[in-house]
Amino acid sequence: MAREITYRDALREALREEMDRDERVFLMGEDIGAYGGSYVVTRGFLEQYGRKRVRDTPISELAIVGLANGAAMGGLRPVVELMTINFSLLAMDQIVNHAAKIHYMFNRQISVPVVIRTASGWGQLGATHSQTFEAWYAHVPGLRVVMPATPKDAKGFLKSAIRGQDPVMFIEHSLIYRNRGEVPDGEYLLPLEGAEVRREGTDVTIVSWSRGYYLALGAAEELARDGIEAEVIDMRVLRPLDIDTVVRSVQKTNRLVIVEESWRTLGMGAEIAAAVQEHAFDYLDAPIARVGSVEVPMPYAKNLERLVIPGKDEVVAAVHELLRRDVAVAR
Amino acid sequence: MTTPDGRQTQGLTLGKDELLHLYRQMVQIRRFEERAAEQYAHGKIGGFLHLYIGEEAVAVGAISAKEPQDHVITHYRDHGYAVALGIDPRLLMAELFGRATGIVGGRGGSMHFADAERKFWGGYAIVAGHLPIAVGLALASQYLEQNYVVLCFFGDGATNNGAFHEALNFASLWKLPVLFICENNQYGMGTHVEYASAVPEMARKAAAYDIPAARVDGQDVLVMRDAVKQALDHCRAGHGPFFLEALTYRFRGHSMADPEAYRSKEEVEQRRREDPIIRFRDKLLAEGVTTAEELDQIDTEVDQQMDEAVRFADESPVPDPATLTEGVYAEPVAAR
Ligand SMILES: Cc1ncc(C[n+]2csc(CCOP(=O)(O)OP(=O)(O)O)c2C)c(N)n1
Ligand SMILES: [Mg+2]
Number of domains making up chain A: 2
Residue A284 lies in a domain: yes
Chosen for mutation from B45, B107, B182 (greatest number of chain A CBs closer than 10 Å) is B107
d(CA B125, CA B106) in angstroms, rounded, equals 16
The pLDDT of B289-310, averaged and rounded, is: 98
Mutate which of B48, B52, B78, B127 to test ligand 1's pocket (most atoms within 8 Å of Cβ)? B127
Q: Give the mean pLDDT of B225-245.
A: 98
In this structure, the answer to whether residues A25 and A126 fall within a common structural domain is: yes
From chain A, which residues contact B within 8 Å (Cβ)?
Answer: 30-31, 33-36, 38, 56-63, 86-87, 90, 123-129, 294-297, 299-304, 307-308
CA-wise closest residue to B33 among B52, B17, B18: B52
Report residue B7's pLDDT band, with 50, 70 and 90 as the boundaries.
Answer: very low
Tell me: the pLDDT tens digits for B134-172? 999 999 999 999 999 999 999 999 999 999 999 999 999
Q: Is the pLDDT of residue B227 over 50?
A: yes
Which residues share a beta bridge with B72? Answer: B120, B151
**What residues of B are in the A interface, CB distance below 8 Å?**
46-48, 95, 98-99, 106-109, 111-112, 124-128, 157-158, 160-163, 188-192, 195-197, 258-259, 261-262, 318-319, 321, 324-325, 328
- Please give the residue range of the domain that contains residue A157: 2-184
Judged on CB neighbours under 10 Å (0-12, 13-18, 19+), A198 is middle
Q: Is pLDDT at A326 greater than 70 in this prediction?
A: no
Are residues B113 and B78 in contact, defined by beta-carbon separation less than 8 angstroms? Answer: yes
CATH architecture of B16-310: 3-Layer(aba) Sandwich (3.40)
- Eight-class DSSP state of B115: B
Does pLDDT of A125 surpass 80?
Answer: yes
Q: Mean pLDDT throughout B261-271?
A: 96
Is the model's pLDDT at B5 over the cut of 90?
Answer: no
pLDDT tens-place string over residues A92-109? 999 999 999 999 999 999
Q: How confident is the model at residue B13 (pLDDT cuts 50, 70, 90)?
A: confident
Cα of B271 vs its chain's centroid, Å: 19
Put simply, the answer to whether B195 touches A296 (Cβ < 8 Å) is: no
Asked if residue B10 has pLDDT above 70, the reply is no
Clarify whether residues A167 and A255 are in a common domain.
Answer: no
Split at pLDDT 50, 70, 90, the class of B307 is very high
Mean pLDDT for the stretch of residues A178-192? 97
pLDDT digits (tens, 9 = 90+) for A236-292: 999 999 999 999 999 999 999 999 999 999 999 999 999 999 999 999 999 999 999
> Does residue A79 sit in the same domain as residue A200?
no
* pLDDT of B3 over the 60 cut: no
If asked whether residues A163 and A202 sit together in one domain, one would say: no
| Distance from residue B125's CA to the centre of ligand 2 (Å) | 13
Residue A167's nearest CA partner among A97, A95, A91 is: A95
Sheet holding A196-199, edge to edge: A196-199, A230-234, A204-208, A256-263, A289-293
The model's pLDDT over B15-35, given as tens digits with 9 standing for 90+, comes to 999 999 999 999 999 999 999
Q: Which residues pair with B330 in a beta bridge?
A: none
Which residue among A31, A128, A296 places its CB closest to the CB of B125? Answer: A128
Residue closest to B226 by CA, chosen among B60, B55, B27, B71: B60
Could you tell me if A83 and A210 lie in one domain? Answer: no
Atom of ligand 1 minimally distant from the CA of B125: 25
Q: What are the phi and psi torsion angles at A4 (to 5°)?
A: -105, 125
Report pLDDT for B1: 39
Q: How far apart are alpha carbons B16 and B289 in whole angstroms?
A: 7
- pLDDT score of B2 more than 90: no
Considering only CB atoms, which chain B residues are within 8 Å of A36?
190, 259, 261
- Enclosing H/E stretch for B272: helix B265-272
Please report the pLDDT score of residue B138 as a whole number.
98
Does A1 score more than 80 pLDDT? Answer: no
Task: Tell me the residue length of chain B.
Answer: 336
- Which residues have CB under 8 Å from A140's CB, separation 6+? A95, A96, A100, A239
* Domain-located, residue A331: no
- Report CB contact under 8 Å: A62, B106: no
**Confidence check: pLDDT of B9 > 50:** no
Contacts of A118 (CB under 8 A, 6+ apart): A81, A82, A83, A84, A85, A87, A88, A169, A170, A171, A172
Closest-CA residue in chain B for A84? B126
ipTM above 0.85, yes or no: yes
Segment (H or E) for A291: strand A289-293
A325 confidence band (pLDDT: 50, 70, 90): confident
Mean pLDDT of chain A: 97
Percent of chain A with pLDDT over 70: 98
**A59–B319 C-beta distance less than 8 A:** no
Residues A29 and A151 in one domain: yes
Q: Residue B268's pLDDT is what?
A: 97
Q: So what's the pLDDT on residue A130? A: 98
Specify which residues B192 forms β-bridges with.
Answer: B187
Question: Does residue A94 sit within a domain?
Answer: yes
* CATH number of the domain encompassing residue A60: 3.40.50.970
User: Are residues A11 and A131 part of one domain?
Assistant: yes
- What pLDDT, on a 0 to 100 scale, did the predictor assign at position B265? 96
Task: Please check the confidence at residue A135 and state whether its pLDDT lies above 60.
Answer: yes
Mean predicted lDDT score pLDDT of chain B = 95
Query: What is the pLDDT at residue B335?
Result: 83
Would you state the pLDDT for residue A83?
A: 98
How far apart CA B212 and CA B131 sit, in angstroms, is 17
Is the domain of A169 the same as that of A211? no
Q: How far is CA B298 from CA A190, A281, B28, in A?
A: 65, 74, 9
Closest-CA distance, B46 to chain A, in angstroms, reads 6
Over range B102-115, report the average pLDDT.
98
Helix, coil or strand: residue A207 = strand
Domain locations in chain B as residue ranges = 16-310
Flag whether A160 is in a domain: yes
Would the pLDDT of B4 be above 70?
A: no
More confident call, B10 vs B173: B173
Question: Peptide bond preceding A240: is omega within 30 degrees of 0, i.e. cis?
Answer: yes
Whether residues A155 and A270 share a domain: the answer is no
Per the model's pLDDT, the better-predicted residue between B64 and B8 turns out to be B64
Which is nearest to A294 in space by CA: A64, A130, A80, A95? A130
